Chains A and B, each alone.
Chain A
Amino acid sequence: MQTMMEKFIDHFREALDAAEGKEIKMEDRFRDYEEWDSLRYLSVIAMIDSEYDVIIDTTDFRKIETVGGLMEEIRKRIKT
């Protein structure tokens, strides 16, 4: 069984269109990734909506800095 964190990292890597071996850590500041650009940003928003049924608006998204921070925000918003 994959944990939420492992699954999230897989989804995130795929949305970034990054190499399969790319290491992604919770403390990473994702805006510093070389892959990060406005198109990847759209892919990440789309991925979060598809996988978690969560939509994070741009004002809130701007406050999130790390991969872990993003996952935390999703966890808080997941509809139960």
Chain B
Amino acid sequence: MGFQHYKNVTLRGISACVPSNVFDNRNLSLLGNSDQIQKFIDTTGVVTRHVVNGRNLCSSDMCYQAASKLLYELSWRPDEIDCLLFVSQTPDYIMPATACILQEKLGLANECFAMDISLGCSGWIHGMATIGALIQNGGFKKGLLLAGDTSTVTKSPKDKSTYPLFGDGGTATALEYIEGSPGLRVHTATDGKGYKAIIIPDGGFRNFYTHDSLKEVEYEDGIVRNNLQTSLDGPGVFVFAISKAPRSITGLLEHFDLDINSVDYFILHQANKILNEKIRTKLRLPVEKVPYSIEEFGNTSSSSIPLTMVTRLRQQLTAGNCRLITCGFGVGLSWGTIYLETEKITCPELIII
């Protein structure tokens, strides 16, 4: 249970897109005086963030840019794509599924299998696993995973527990059925007990949108938000992640009899520095094997793993072969790990729009 090996599935390419507008936490008075700002940056690692900042720019727009570029560089024709999954907590509409809009925009075939997955920080892992399951038997040959979030739109600018942590972005990942390839070794897990740890309480169908949804409430000094904005139990998520993420990684390595030292890079969801460093030191991993992008982009939710690969490992991924562990954890609560081997993948430079 929880472990799967999707054989014959190969990662062929990754691309990422972020908005051009940059917010600098060093100038953010919400965080307090300069000592308090420094303390925040030292703890979370977030210095700057790329944000949509009021532009009419959705997760799907950035995923679209990333996907168009990736398909072009891979020389994949749009009508060859057999399945498209869009993973996000910030879709274009409550309905229809954003994957349908992207199918048309990208010019994919009507027979393309397209659907949305509602997950955040673990979403890239679950999206990869789902495409792996769909294409492992060769019925589908080519799959596209579009993962992105505009998390900053759902954060209250008056909430220091969420607002300074997040950035926006969209990514595209191309997977192909190639017989005999090492495939994806996957661990996935869920604990719905923690569903309130990261939540937007109103605007869905459990708590319908009302006038009161917009009412601002001060929870403590520097934490003011309404019920259409994200509430984050930072310590709760921290405790969850430092216990589950390392165990997911070691569990996967043990289950598939893999040597931790043979892994070239460990790409963790970029949650915050103190948490990621905790995971790294628990696993006794050397600094150079665990790339960070959080200082530049913040926590970009479902984008953070592919964004880190594009911006920190592009050279290694395009020039040679890599053995990678990727691990995502967060909203749900949901988490998972994938071990995969790559061979000179296609990885265009970061797109900034």
Which chain A residues in 49-72 approach chain B with CB under 8 Å? Answer: 49-50, 55-58, 61
- Judge whether A42 and B281 touch: CB under 8 Å: no
- Judge whether A39 and B242 touch: CB under 8 Å: no
Q: Does B39 have its Cβ within 8 Å of any Cβ on chain A?
A: yes
CB within 8 Å for A56 and B239 given contacts A38-B161, A46-B274 = yes
Distance of A2 from chain B, by nearest CB (Å): 23
Residues in chain A within 8 A of chain B (CB atoms) = 17, 38-39, 41-43, 45-46, 49-50, 55-58, 61
Of the stretches B50-58, B206-214, B229-237, B252-260, the one at the interface is: B229-237
Residues of the B chain whose Cβ atoms lie less than 8 Å from the Cβ of A57: 236, 239
CB within 8 Å for A49 and B236 given contacts A55-B242, A55-B243 = no
Instruction: From B44, B233, B239, B274, give the contact of A55 (CB < 8 A).
Output: B239
Distance of B277 from chain A, by nearest CB (Å): 9
Residues of the A chain whose Cβ atoms lie less than 8 Å from the Cβ of B233: 58
Expressed in whole angstroms, the Cα–Cα distance for A50 and B278 within the complex equals 8
Distance of A7 from chain B, by nearest CB (Å): 19
- Judge whether A38 and B234 touch: CB under 8 Å: yes
Total interface residues in chain B, CB < 8 Å: 18
Distance of A28 from chain B, by nearest CB (Å): 20
Q: Does B40 have its Cβ within 8 Å of any Cβ on chain A?
A: yes
Q: Does B43 have its Cβ within 8 Å of any Cβ on chain A?
A: yes
- Judge whether B243 and A42 touch: CB under 8 Å: no
Q: Does B23 have its Cβ within 8 Å of any Cβ on chain A?
A: no
Expressed in whole angstroms, the Cα–Cα distance for A17 and B43 within the complex equals 11
Expressed in whole angstroms, the Cα–Cα distance for A56 and B275 within the complex equals 15
Instruction: From A39, A41, A50, A56, give the contact of B281 (CB < 8 A).
Output: A50
- Residue of A42, A43, A57, A58 with highest tally of chain B CB at under 10 A: A42
Residues of the B chain whose Cβ atoms lie less than 8 Å from the Cβ of A43: 43, 274
Expressed in whole angstroms, the Cα–Cα distance for A45 and B233 within the complex equals 14
Distance of A43 from chain B, by nearest CB (Å): 7
- Judge whether B40 and A49 touch: CB under 8 Å: no
CB within 8 Å for A58 and B236 given contacts A39-B39, A42-B43 = yes
- Judge whether A45 and B235 touch: CB under 8 Å: yes
Distance of B239 from chain A, by nearest CB (Å): 5
Residues of the B chain whose Cβ atoms lie less than 8 Å from the Cβ of A56: 239
Q: Does B140 have its Cβ within 8 Å of any Cβ on chain A?
A: no
Which chain B residues in 235-277 approach chain A with CB under 8 Å? Answer: 235-236, 238-239, 242-243, 274-275
Residue of B nearest to A59 (CB): B236
Residues of the A chain whose Cβ atoms lie less than 8 Å from the Cβ of B243: 55
CB within 8 Å for A42 and B235 given contacts A49-B242, A49-B278, A55-B242 = yes
Expressed in whole angstroms, the Cα–Cα distance for A39 and B282 within the complex equals 20
Residues of the A chain whose Cβ atoms lie less than 8 Å from the Cβ of B161: 38
- Judge whether B43 and A39 touch: CB under 8 Å: yes
Residue of A nearest to B236 (CB): A58
Residue of B nearest to A41 (CB): B235
Residues of the A chain whose Cβ atoms lie less than 8 Å from the Cβ of B236: 57-58
Residue of A nearest to B243 (CB): A55
- Judge whether A58 and B239 touch: CB under 8 Å: yes
Expressed in whole angstroms, the Cα–Cα distance for A46 and B233 within the complex equals 16
Which chain B residues in 42-78 approach chain A with CB under 8 Å? Answer: 43-44
Q: Which 10 pairs, one residue from A and one from B, show the smallest C-beta to C-beta distance?
A: A58-B236, A39-B43, A58-B235, A57-B239, A55-B243, A41-B235, A46-B278, A42-B238, A42-B274, A38-B234
Distance of A31 from chain B, by nearest CB (Å): 12
Expressed in whole angstroms, the Cα–Cα distance for A58 and B161 within the complex equals 16
Distance of A3 from chain B, by nearest CB (Å): 26
- Judge whether A46 and B242 touch: CB under 8 Å: yes
Instruction: From A39, A45, A50, give the contact of B239 (CB < 8 A).
Output: A45
